[in-house]
Amino acid sequence: AGKFYQHAPTETSQATLASVSPVFAVMKFDKDGNTTYFEKKKTELYQELGLQARDLRFQHVMSIATRNNRIIMRMEFLKAVITPEFLLILDYRNLSLEHWLLNELASQLAGEGQLVTYSLPFEFRAIEAILQYWISKLQGRLNTLQPQILETLEALVDPKLLSVDRSKLHVLLQNGKSLSELETDLKVFKETILEILDEEEVIEELCLSKWSDPKIFEESTSGIDHAEEMELLLENYYRQAEDLLNEARELRVLIDDSESIIFINLDSHRNVMMRLNLQLTMGTFSVSLFGLIGVAFGMNLESSLEEDPRIFWLVTGIMFLGSGLIWRRLLSFLGRHLDPPLPPHIPTVLKKSQPAAGRVEIKTSLKGETFGLSRSTLTNQ
């Protein structure tokens, strides 16, 4: 009786856990592009596929792994299981994902699309279709951010503006955060593919048909082994991700340089206001200094000077003339001490020895024009 009471709760808990296991909405594609939809519990699905429960976890990560002649691909919200005969997409109910599944994936798997692996086994077409979808999604995000960032920077680095539009700064901040997220996703995508490229055994395991039907897995028409074809396929998308990451880095450098230009423009306008304030202070000092003469004549003291009508104009002229001379003298003193020094002379030999920077020069004319405008503004001011 004691043994019965010890095992009864365990059996009940196991039955309860099995009954509440999550249910996957699955879309299945075969080699001909035929599509079927069904729902199945997680326990039943991983048992049919010969996988383990941890292989079908709800994880928004990026990974490509093989287990029991199955390829498990996770691209954040996109989860797929590839076999030599069919492709399973788990939890496909996503607007953008569902549009791609219904309109493009079926034809690509059937060999009707523009995939270069249409003549290779089914797993090649499935892997390339998923990688192409993900890299095009990252490319679309970059194409959306790039014009917005360039337009915002053009409005912010204008030297004619005396102040910075805070709404533009808010837009630039949001785009900067989106650009950082894109850079992170691209780095993760590159690292995921690089981990596979560094392991020859993993590349061999990705060739599922090699283990299911060795006769199919012969050399391709180009005379290259299919394992090398898989490596070339992954390297192709690794290079595309590297190119996108370089473009994102150029945008990041452009944002950082534009921020420096914005600070230079603000400092320039601040210096102009401070200089104007100093000039007005000197003018007030000059007028006040010679205003002492008027104060002296305004005292209730009797002298023979107040009886002459020409004395008023003489004293007034001396006051304005003296104030103007002192103010002019102070301004010349201010100009000598505040003007920036001339740049040092660079010898011709050094100029010729400097290498030309190829990647530093941004393709857009925004960066060069902005530096020229800010420099001319500082020189004039």
| 76 belongs to a structural domain | yes
Tell whether 312 is covered by a domain: no
Other C-beta atoms closer than 10 Å to the C-beta of 265 total: 24
Structure tokens at 81: 């299981």
- The pLDDT value recorded for residue 375 is 41
Sheet holding 71-75, edge to edge: 35-41, 23-30, 86-90, 78-82, 71-75, 62-66
For tokens 């089914």, what's the residue?
122
Q: Residue 262: inside a domain, yes or no?
A: yes
99's tokens: 């549009």
DSSP assignment of 144-174 equals HHHHHHHHHHHHHS-TT-SS--HHHHHHHHH
Give a yes or no: residue 246 inside a domain: yes
Q: What pTM was computed for the model?
A: 0.67
How far is the C-alpha of 192 from the C-alpha of 163, rounded, in Å? 45
User: Mean pLDDT over residues 212-219, rounded?
Assistant: 57
Q: What is the CATH number of the domain that holds 118?
A: 1.20.58.340
pLDDT in tens, 87-99: 999 887 765 777 7
Grade residue 166 by pLDDT with cuts at 50, 70 and 90: confident
Report, as an integer, the average pLDDT of 300-312: 71
pLDDT averaged over every residue in the chain: 76
Gap between the Cα atoms of 217 and 137, Å rounded: 32
Q: Is the distance from CB of 39 to CB of 58 less than 8 angstroms?
A: no
Q: What does the pLDDT read at residue 214?
A: 57
Q: Can you give the pLDDT at residue 364? A: 44
pLDDT band at 303 (very low <50, low <70, confident <90, very high): low
Number of domains in the chain: 1
Range of the domain at 161: 23-266
Residue matched to tokens 């569902």: 98
> Which of 95, 99, 123 has its CA nearest to residue 109?
123
Average pLDDT, integer, range 308-336 = 77
Residue 37 maps to a domain: yes
In a domain, 279, yes or no: no
Q: Is the pLDDT assigned to residue 372 strictly greater than 60?
A: no
User: Is 191 part of a structural domain of the chain?
Assistant: yes
Nearest to 33 by CA among 137, 110, 142, 146: 110
Confidence tier at 367 by pLDDT (50, 70, 90):
very low
Q: How confident is the model at residue 189 (pLDDT cuts 50, 70, 90)?
A: very high
Instruction: Confirm whether 320 is domain-assigned.
Output: no
Query: What are the start-end ranges of the H helices in 298-364?
Result: 310-338, 348-353
Percent of the chain with pLDDT over 70: 73
In 3D space, the residue among 47, 19, 354, 46 whose CA is nearest the CA of residue 55 turns out to be 46
